[in-house]
Structure 1
Amino acid sequence: MRGMIHYQRNEFAAANSAFEKAIMQDPKDLQATQMRGVTLYRMGQPAAAIPLLERANTPIASDNADGTYVLAVCYLDVHRYDDARRIFAQQYKLPVDSAASYLFMGRMLLRRNYPVESEQMTRKALEIEPRLPLAHLLLGQLALSRSQAAEAVVEFEAERKINPMDGEVYERLGDSYLRALRYEDAQQALNCALLLEPNSTGPYILLGQVLLKRDDALTALNYLMRAEHMDPNNHLTHLLLGQAYRALGRKEDATREYKSAESIQNSVENPK
């Protein structure tokens, strides 16, 4: 009980000490064992956490999925990727050596900021199943993160052929075309994204950027105003609105939007 209280207060050193004492009194206490493993992970000690989490995982995994997830993440952090893939596959009921299992690993590795390993796992998934949905989408995201717009376009176009009804694919493709200075292609892709995902602000903002690049500030303004109505706290939207108003000669409106963008950005960087 003392360990749980310290853990909930983010007092991890004290929690670790309490759980350690609980285990000394009762080595079969699997909850204390698991919680000490989770605590060590939160303390940045994944290697030390793994034996404890492994010991507790099988008997109580059905009652507490958090410990199972943390064990898999610890495996990732110590580069035991096959073990991590096995755990994730069990959690999500995937065949361990399937393309989906490798793609899942690719996504988790990217989330943990291991882009090289993420790409390796994703390409392995495509070797197993060349038309696997979402694999090229992930490779395109990796290419964008490296500012390789042309490579991203290739991947997103490949995903579009496999998965033509996913609005995110067209949004990412439009973003890649924009970065590659292919403004007409970007506009077409983003229009497709809007049809599939009319409640997402991303395509509206990107269309505003594209139309500003194409010297069509009036049309850009319409899309950006819609994005601002949907999410008034996006500083990029206000910044682009300022550019659109300035291009239209509406200086007071432009100044207002620039100030709004600055205020939102400052509130994010300097929260109370």
Structure 2
Amino acid sequence: MRLMAGPRLVALGVLFVAASASSAQKPSGAVPSEVQKGVQALEQGRFSEAEEYLSKALAAKPNLPEVRANLGLAYYVDHKYSDAVVAFREALRQQPSLSTAQTFLPLSLAALDECNEAIPGLRREFPNYPDVKLRRVIGLSLERCLSETGQPADASDILQKLVAQYSDDLDVLYEAGQFYGKLSSEMYLRLMKVAPDSARGYQVMGQVAASDGNWQRAVEAFRQAIRKDPTLPGVHLNLAVQLLLHSPDPEAWKEALENLNAEQKLSPADSDVYFEMGEAYRKHGQTQEAMASFREALRLRPGMVEARLGLAKALREQGMKEEAVNVLEPARKTDPDNAAVHFLLAQLYHDLGRASEAEAEVAAFQRLQPSSP
């Protein structure tokens, strides 16, 4: 069962973040024209303009922590999480008590899957954050990070608090259902009771069918969810994955790409979308498009081993073997027990005449194979 990616989880709060911009912290005293224009653009949801104006103001006068926090907020809602982290950190260096930066720095880190750094701030902000809608986003980000860092008991505790505070919220119930893993769980049943004919309900049915190996039923449920709500995050990706994995129709990959493009518009910072695009293109001979998609996935999530494997395969197909090695070697450090990484590295080293390194990778690959009974 495919879980929602980090950036998408955080993106659930974008509408509420935009609302928080109306109370964005403004520097006291004389405010340059660029700052006024930037704050106005931020309040009106024109984030690229806000970034431009606020950056100009900070270039002229760097020591404006409130302005830098507003720039970070614009970056965050514009899915530029790495830039947001830089802005919020500098704002906090200049003014450690700045509330906007204290809240959105850990959210930005969580969106980048930097969960170990994000968790302390998310723990601090979640219990008593005054805006209930943004508190929900903080809680969902905290739950995901706790799950991803191997703290299931703490993640379950956060989910219980979220369900208690947002008992009829479909996204909270969906995440709880994902966490507990099967339709018979209390959270799935509650979701189906709250909205049995909802897009989320059909999405859940599809994911349960997929986990049971019934891909045809999963595809139909995901299509029904899309008919109910074509803007529902995640469901286009769910459908595309099932089509790419299972459909015998030779044209199914084109329908999958259509859904991946739709998902990309809904979740532009979701690295899984670009990875699936890359695999679809690569397996159907469109190597340039595949490489572009894999590179975007890695820009969003540099530690994504699957995207490094896909890009390295595409580069090898194009004869770009040195670059393929450079792309893939970091994956060996990130995931040393990944047999596919060692196998492909062995092939690449062999291609390049690096015999001793190839032999070492073959040995690593063989060590990871299950022993015969």
Superposition TM-score, scaled by structure 1 size: 0.64
* Aligned 8 A contact 1:89 1:101 in 2: no
- Describe the SS at the equivalent of 1:208: helix
Q: How many residues are matched?
A: 192
Between the aligned partners of 1:137 and 1:70, the Cα distance in structure 2 is: 19
1:107-158 deviation digits (Å, cap 9, x = unpaired): 1111111111111111111111122221110111111112653343232122
- Say which one has the larger Rg: 1
1:143 aligns with 243
C-alpha deviation, 1:87, in angstroms = 7.1
C-alpha deviation, 1:224, in angstroms = 1.2
What are the equivalent positions in structure 2 for 1:85-124 lying under 5 Å apart? 88-91=188-191, 94-124=194-224
Aligned-pair identity in percent equals 30
1:255 aligns with 359
What are the equivalent positions in structure 2 for 1:4-153 lying under 5 Å apart? 72-73=183-184, 88-91=188-191, 94-146=194-246, 148-153=252-257
Between the aligned partners of 2:268 and 2:189, the Cα distance in structure 1 is: 27
- Counterpart residue identity of residue 234, structure 1: N
* Aligned 8 A contact 2:311 2:327 in 1: yes
Listed as ranges, the gaps of 5+ residues in structure 2 are: 1-175
C-alpha deviation, 1:189, in angstroms = 0.8
- Describe the SS at the equivalent of 2:213: coil
* Aligned 8 A contact 2:199 2:228 in 1: yes
- Describe the SS at the equivalent of 1:165: coil
- Counterpart residue identity of residue 258, structure 2: V
- Describe the SS at the equivalent of 1:113: coil
* Aligned 8 A contact 2:237 2:273 in 1: yes
Listed as ranges, the gaps of 5+ residues in structure 1 are: 1-64, 74-83
Q: Which has the higher contact order (CA 8 A, sep 6+)?
A: 2
Between the aligned partners of 2:194 and 2:346, the Cα distance in structure 1 is: 49
2:313 aligns with 209
- Describe the SS at the equivalent of 2:272: helix
CA distance 1:253–1:153, shift in 2 (3 Å): same
- Counterpart residue identity of residue 145, structure 1: L
Between the aligned partners of 2:231 and 2:189, the Cα distance in structure 1 is: 20
Between 1:251-260 and 1:221-230, the stretch displaced more is 251-260
1:165 aligns with 269
Between the aligned partners of 1:220 and 1:116, the Cα distance in structure 2 is: 36
Give the root-mean-square deviation of aligned CA atoms.
Answer: 2.7
Between the aligned partners of 1:221 and 1:232, the Cα distance in structure 2 is: 15
2:136 aligns with none
- Describe the SS at the equivalent of 1:249: coil
- Counterpart residue identity of residue 201, structure 2: S
2:134 aligns with none
C-alpha deviation, 1:96, in angstroms = 2.0
